[in-house]
Amino acid sequence: MGLFNFFKGKEQDAPVTFPAILGAPSKGVFVPMNQIPDEMFSQGIMGVCCGVDPGEGRVYAPIDATVTQLTDTLHAVGLEAGGMEILIHVGVDTVEMNGEGFTNTVKEGQQVKKGELLLTMDLDKIREAGHPATVILAVTNTDDFAGVEETGSGAVQPGDGVLRVNK
């Protein structure tokens, strides 16, 4: 992680070109920010974001990045890319599941490529627990950028552009 520290988190091994396009983290149906079933996200409190109502239990990297955080409950992953702090949060109130039905495939400090598998989730277990399974993609430091805007709509495949970040 030497280069990462040297640049104080502003760069990574693969520099990001702006405007940066963040890809859909899952296969499914695009969910605009204002329709995410969690006020912390739908009101932009966690930064500009969007969601995907997943059609399968896989979550992928939206851009080449460094894994900066993994929750103990396995339902969220923090990434850093070109100064962007990116949060992928799987489901609403899924922290209550204490990791049941979730499996990480990456570790903190790992470099990931766009489209690389980050975690898997058991959609049936999430639904049985009574939680929406929406996969939320947020730029938590939105204020550090000139603009973050939603670009997705309808059915999306992993990697399809859903957020554009302007420096």
pLDDT digits (tens, 9 = 90+) for 41-76: 999 999 999 999 999 999 999 999 999 999 999 999
Confidence of residue 14 (pLDDT cuts 50, 70, 90): low
| C-alpha distances out from residue 148 to 15, 97, 105, 107, 162, Å | 18, 31, 28, 27, 10
What CATH number has the domain bearing residue 62? Answer: 2.70.70.10
Rounded to 5 degrees, φ, ψ at 85 are: -100, 115
Diameter of the chain by CA atoms? 45
Q: Is residue 67 part of a domain?
A: yes
Quote the number of domains for the chain: 1
Residue 7, domain member (yes or no): no
Catalytic residue annotation: 89
Query: Is 89 inside a domain boundary?
Result: yes
Residue pair 41/31 in contact (Cβ under 8 Å)? The answer is no
User: Considering the chain, what is the average pLDDT of its residues?
Assistant: 92
- Domain span at residue 66 reads 21-166
2: in domain: no
74 falls within a domain:
yes
Q: How confident is the model at residue 162 (pLDDT cuts 50, 70, 90)?
A: very high
In a domain, 139, yes or no: yes
Return d(Cα 14, Cα 11) in angstroms, integer. Answer: 8
Question: Is residue 80 domain-resident?
Answer: yes
pLDDT of residue 15: 78
Asked if residue 120 is part of any domain, the answer here is yes
Higher pLDDT, 96 or 7: 96
